[in-house]
């Protein structure tokens, strides 16, 4: 604890991205600054060759504008770090960064947004033991689910991880012997930590597929936009139905708006707009059922002015549409 005249303790937040996630990371860090009460520093990891120097320089300027001390860490790639659906090899960086940083820290996936109370997890990390090994959020109310190969059946989602100080568990040998399953990284984290982890409220990692709309009287602390289609893939002109419904994407739209306002009258606004436009069409077209929402958003981008009447027509069938994360409310 800092005494009078000393600099306050800086907690540590760690993320990893590739070139597709530059704008979402900027929005996330802005939301952390706006809603948090505890000072933090940031480490951004990236697999070698996946985050251009220009993107790193842009982000460094953004972090400086936000008053955040930050550094970048280049990480060795590995043939075992595979692409699975919409999940890029960068997701495995959380293992590499966990090994590289033995001090306590918070890992956040970049497809999250921080709301008031998010930094309460630092207190949970500080009191976690090395025997527990990891602080994770409940997926619903059941922390006893078995580590099945189905991602939605795993005890926890690995998008928010609190690392206590200490040596990390070996993941290299289990990964080398692991057969290919859905979300290798998620499965491996659950295999290694689900039996001992310290569990915290789902509010610290609220998956949007579990929400239909935001409860303004009981907001989560961290909203996680899991799945292939993300709020930044929805063109701004089609956001009105989601805003009226108060769908979970609204938390990200509000964070984005606050971030852009903070850049008004600065030279950072022009490059930020370029990264924002690029984010709309980021991601990979795939043909599995789980990617149907992403394909719809790409279609709406392609249709331009014809998209709005199509959304109105499709919304007539909203009772049959999966809840929460779509523009068809």
- What are 116-149's pLDDT values in tens digits? 999 999 999 999 999 999 999 988 655 444 445 5
Q: Which residues of 215-248 are buried (b: 16+ CB within 10 A; e: fewer)?
A: eeeeebbbbbbbbbbbbbbbbeebbebbeebbbb
φ/ψ of residue 9, rounded to 5: -60, 135
CA distances from 306 to 103, 236, 294 (A): 52, 14, 18
User: Is residue 95 predicted with pLDDT exceeding 50?
Assistant: yes
CATH of domain 11-206: 3.90.550.10
* Domains in the chain: boundaries: 11-206, 230-320
User: Is residue 4 predicted with pLDDT exceeding 50?
Assistant: no
pLDDT one-digit tens code per residue, 283-329: 776 676 676 777 888 888 888 888 888 888 877 776 666 555 566 66
- Cα separation, 212 vs 215, whole angstroms: 9
pLDDT one-digit tens code per residue, 192-238: 999 999 999 999 999 988 888 899 999 999 999 988 889 999 999 89
**Rg value, the chain, Cα:** 19
Q: pTM here?
A: 0.91
User: Is residue 13 predicted with pLDDT exceeding 90?
Assistant: yes
């Amino acid at each position: 604890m800092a005494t009078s005249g000393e600099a306050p303790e800086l907690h540590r937040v760690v993320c990893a991205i590739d070139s597709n996630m530059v704008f979402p990371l900027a929005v996330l860090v802005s939301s952390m600054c706006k809603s948090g009460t505890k000072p933090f520093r940031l480490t951004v990891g990236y697999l070698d060759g996946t985050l251009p120097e220009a993107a790193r320089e842009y982000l460094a300027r953004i972090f400086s504008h936000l008053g955040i001390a930050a550094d970048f860490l280049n990480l060795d790639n590995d043939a075992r770090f595979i692409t699975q659906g919409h999940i890029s090899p960068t997701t495995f960086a959380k293992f590499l960064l966990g090994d590289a940083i033995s001090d306590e820290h918070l890992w956040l996936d970049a497809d999250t947004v921080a709301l008031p109370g998010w930094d309460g997890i630092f207190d949970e990390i500080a009191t976690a033991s090395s025997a527990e090994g990891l602080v994770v959020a409940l997926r619903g109310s059941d922390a006893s689910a078995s580590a099945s190969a189905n991602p939605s059946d795993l005890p926890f989602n690995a998008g928010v991880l609190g690392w206590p100080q200490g040596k990390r568990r070996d993941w290299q040998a289990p990964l080398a012997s692991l057969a290919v399953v859905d979300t290798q990284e998620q499965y491996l984290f659950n295999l290694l930590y689900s039996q001992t982890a310290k569990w915290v409220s789902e509010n610290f990692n609220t998956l949007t597929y579990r929400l239909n709309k935001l409860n303004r009287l009981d907001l989560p602390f961290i909203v996680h936009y899991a799945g292939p289609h993300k709020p930044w893939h929805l063109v701004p002109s089609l956001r009105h139905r989601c805003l009226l419904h108060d769908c979970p994407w609204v938390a990200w739209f509000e964070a984005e708006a606050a971030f852009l306002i903070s850049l008004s009258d600065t030279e950072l606004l022009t490059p930020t707009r370029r990264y924002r436009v690029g984010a709309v069409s980021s991601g990979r077209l795939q043909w599995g059922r789980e990617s149907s929402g992403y394909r719809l958003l790409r279609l709406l981008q392609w249709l331009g002015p014809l998209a709005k009447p199509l959304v109105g027509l499709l919304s007539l069938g909203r009772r049959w549409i999966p809840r929460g994360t779509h523009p068809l409310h």
